[in-house]
Structure 1
Amino acid sequence: MTALRSLLASGVRDLRVRDYPVAAGARRDGRGPYPVVWTDLPGGTALDADGVVTATGPDGRPYPNPVSMCLYALGEHSRALAEDRPDRDRFGPFLTQASWLRAHQDGEGGWRYPVPVPRYGVAPGWYSGMAQGMAASTLLRAHDLTGERSYLDGADGAVGLLLRPVDRGGCADYDERGRPFLEECPATPPSRVLNGALFALFGLIEHQHRTGGSAHLAAQDRLAAELADFDLGYWSRYDLRWSWPASVNYHALHVSLLAATAGLTGMPVFDDVADRWRSRLRDPASRLRARVVKATKVWRHRRG
């Protein structure tokens, strides 16, 4: 009972709602601010001596984390754009991350994660669809700032791997209609992480609008069709692998990501779901229910 009480207490304490601003000036071609503005370094990360974002691995050692790197880079880029006549130096932190990404992109077009994901039974060495899409967004903006063709080549490679089928080492799980679900963490069975798919979609939309491609249309159509699967009736799910409610912060992130997706795609369903989930976010009873249900399910899972 002590473990259950601890989980419940943690859930009750976690009633704060973080703000994830949606950029009013986001464009489908990515020439402007990123659709959702990240306001600081992601939790659990730090800047190394070279200014590159690192996360702490299970062994306690830091490693460059592509998703965290992109969140920080794109947040810095958006904040710099918002300033009155920012000089090139203001974009320095952004370009540091973009330069690292391009220099360390492998021959497949991606960045392998050197850590396992026990939640999905994934061993080290996996590619993340979220990282691929966000890196594309980062590299496209780096090209806009520098004019260096290499960044465009990097964005092309990132999207190529993003759209490669999971069974061929990529990040896209295709349905019978040929529509991809962009997997943040490719696994068997599929994990279907909602926030990761939405972040990946942003990069795909921006890249396809630059190149004249249409791959984003099938991806956004599938997400729109499957949004109901993430709706618990009182809260949202983090993924489809587990039936647990998302944390309060991830539910808040879902709301902002869906609102931004509605702006990029012009599809009302994303706004409709964002509005419905926003109302639940503002309801203390719904927040508390989500935390208690999650704590209970996690406790039962740990007991086997």
Structure 2
Amino acid sequence: MNNDQIAPRRFHRRAALTMLGLAPVLWGGSLSAHAAPSYHRTAYNVRQLPTELLPYNSPTPGPLDGHLTYDGEGVAVFVIDGRQYNHPVMQAEFMLSRLSSYRHNQDPEYLARVEKHAQRLMETSVTSRGAMYLPYPFDWALHYDKTDMMLAPWYSAMAQGQALSAFVRLFEVTGKQEYLTTADSLFASFHNHKQRGVPWTVYVDDGGYLWFEEWAKDPGPDRAFNGHVYAAFGPYDYYRITGDVTARELFQGGVTAVEAHLSRIRNPGWISWYCLKHRYDYGIYHKFHVDLLYMLYRITGAPSLAASADRFLEDFPAWQIGGTGNLSAGRYEACKFDANGTVTEIKEFNLSAAEQVKVSRRWKFEGQTGIWLLIDTGTVAGFWIQETPGKAFIKRYIEDYKFDPPRFIQFEKGTYVGRRFDSLGAPVSTKRFTLAGDSTARTDRRAVISGALYFHVVAGVFHDYWIPAQPGVDV
């Protein structure tokens, strides 16, 4: 891959290229009087993923209503002090998740509700600089800090990008031209850079990196990691169906900014930071960061992105709430912690027989070694037990991530034991083999099984076996 500086070009798939590319092709309105700045772009491969592997798509259908609040028209709304407001991200995410479900169940009610949300977003949009913008009609304290307010109407690249993805996919399902036209107008907003007095969600920082700003305000853009990446999926989806070169370049520029700033988002040994401006660490967003990095790997095939996701998981486990646990017979030192991770109580338990228990949380505490499981039932209910491979663990496959394309897994010479597991994570067979020299294979999946990290091998002598992470094995 090569790095270069590009000046964003305006392009419309229906317009002919101007002679020798000397003049920009206009669409969605006239050019801004402010020249768009150039930005760093690495020429990542941008793969055309099959539908089932696209961002937001789930392998199973979900409920139609879920836990959201809806107005009289069946459109999801955000409630503040008893008053209902439109929330562009919430409404775009409703569209994306129900379109994913519709792909499985073909239930016309799902599609009808998606189209109601589409109409709401179109009806409440505003037009600026030839592009559609989705305003937030309520004030919001950023990070709940009332000295850092988002004042209505405000705009978000996350809303622009997720809505762009939603309208692209709604067009794919229905073939209705109005949805493609709306996608065109939303995509146009990615060419409008930061400018005072008008809506904006895209800008280039002082280092020349392109940002899709979730919290577009001046002074001080937040540069939230998750919002930036979710926004980047919008140009990716638009590129999928149009072949628009500028959409591909915008996506590549967004990923370039991600990789250039991961060292500032990562918080070694702990939860990653939410954004570049503030030092807030939220456990659920750490999981989002991991998920997004693996998704960017899926789209680009860039090994560095998957390796970064691996490091984030080494720093802190993915958010895990609920599960069936196993406690083997033996001695346990159980603990209780306060909100700061300080031990408030220690109690020893001796289990004469294995117990199946409910686990409500899997977590890490600052200053404490390892990962801990909060036990809800059984002899040690109410206490935290340190996760121990083969002894104290959550059953089934957790922190389960599939790699497409498969990644390289390297073995030093030596003897290794591969295992096969059933759907609950119980071993069903093993294979021992001694490698006479260093060897390389492929892995298409990683998961924590019985409390230990494993990689699923899809080539070589350990094909279709799981190999535990251990000295001599490197991914």
TM-score range, shorter chain: 0.7 to 0.9
Matched residue, 2:205: 175
- Structure number with greater Rg is 2
255, 273, 278: which one aligns with 1:237: 273
- 1:208 correspondence with 2:239: yes
Q: 1:282 offset after TM fit, Å?
A: 2.6
Q: 1:244 to 1:215 in 2, by over 3 A?
A: closer
SS of residue matched to 1:166: coil
Greater RCO between the two (CA within 8 Å, min separation 6)? 1
In 1, distance between residues paired with 2:230 and 2:83? 27
Q: Report the alpha carbon displacement of residue 236 of structure 1 after superposing the two structures with TM.
A: 0.5
Opposite residue 267 of structure 2, the aligned amino acid is: L
Equivalent of residue 116 in structure 2, options 88, 96, 99 = 96
Letter in 1 for 2:254: A
1:147 aligns with 2:175: yes
CA shift for structure 1 position 125: 0.8
Deviations 1:100-126 (A, max 9, x none): 222332223011111223224321111
Aligned to 1:271: 306
Of Structure 1 and Structure 2, which has the larger fraction of its residues in strand? 2
Maintained 8 Å contact 2:74/2:116: yes
- Residue in 1 aligned with 2:149? 121
Range with bigger deviation, 127-136 or 44-53: 44-53
Partners of 2:50 and 2:78 in 1: how far apart?
27
**8 A Cα contact 1:36 1:260, kept in partner:** no
Q: What does 1:1-304 correspond to in 2, within 5 Å?
A: 28=48, 34-37=54-57, 45-57=68-80, 59-83=81-105, 86-108=106-128, 109-119=132-142, 120-168=148-196, 169-175=199-205, 178-187=208-217, 188-211=219-242, 212-213=244-245, 214-234=249-269, 235-245=271-281, 247-282=282-317, 287-289=364-366
Q: Structure 2: which 5+ residue stretches go unaligned?
A: 1-46, 143-147, 320-340, 342-362, 368-475
Contact 1:179 1:218 in 2 (8 A): yes
Relative to structure 1, the CA distance from residue 99 to residue 265 in structure 2 (aligned partners, 3 Å threshold; closer, same or farther) is: farther
Q: Structure 1 residues 70, 159: closer, same or farther in 2, change over 3 A?
A: same
**Do the aligned partners of residues 198 and 42 (structure 1) sit closer, same or farther apart at CA in structure 2, a change above 3 Å counting?**
farther
Q: 1:92 deviation in Å?
A: 2.5
What is the letter of the counterpart of residue 259 of structure 2? A
| CA distance in structure 1 between the aligned counterparts of 2:157 and 2:188, rounded to whole angstroms | 11
C-alpha offsets along residues 171-229 of structure 1, whole Å, 9 cap, x if unaligned? Answer: 11203575421000112211011110111011111113333222222121111211111
Q: Secondary structure at the match of 1:240?
A: coil
CA contact (8 A) 2:158 2:228 kept: yes
- Change in CA separation of 1:81 and 1:157 when aligned onto 2, cut-off 3 Å: same
Tell me the TM-score normalized by structure 2.
0.50
Indicate the SS of the match to 1:167.
coil
**Structure 1 regions of 5+ residues with no counterpart?**
1-26, 291-304
TM-score, normalised to structure 1, is 0.76
In the comparison of the two structures, how many residue pairs are matched? 260
Is the CA contact 1:181–1:222 (under 8 Å) kept in the aligned structure 2?
yes
Letter aligned with residue 196 of structure 1: G
8 Å contact kept, 1:130–1:183 = yes
Percent of matched pairs sharing the same residue: 25
Name the aligned partner's letter for residue 257 of structure 1: L
The CA distance in 2 between the partners of 1:40 and 1:242, in whole Å, is 35
In 1: Cα distance, 2:90 partner to 2:57 partner: 13
Q: Which amino acid aligns with 1:183?
A: E
Distance 1:55 1:201 in 2: 24
Alignment partners' CA distance in 2, 1:67 and 1:159: 16
Partner AA of 2:140 in structure 1: V
Q: Which residue of 2 aligns with 1:21?
A: none
Q: In terms of mean alpha carbon deviation, does 127-136 or 59-68 score higher? A: 59-68
Counterpart CA distance in 1 for 2:65 and 2:79 is: 12
* 1:16-60 CA-partner distances (Å, limit 9, x unpaired): xxxxxxxxxxx7479566513576799984121211110113x43
Q: CA RMSD in A?
A: 2.8
Q: CA deviation at 1:279?
A: 3.1
**Quick one: structure 1 residues 289 and 41, their matched pair in 2 at CA, closer, same or farther if it must change by over 3 Å?**
farther
SS at match of 2:364: helix
CA contact (8 A) 1:44 1:55 kept: no
Determine if contact 1:47/1:53 at 8 Å carries over to the other structure: yes
Deviations for 1:66-111, whole angstroms, at most 9, x for unmatched residues?
Answer: 101112221111122134xx25444223222223222332223011
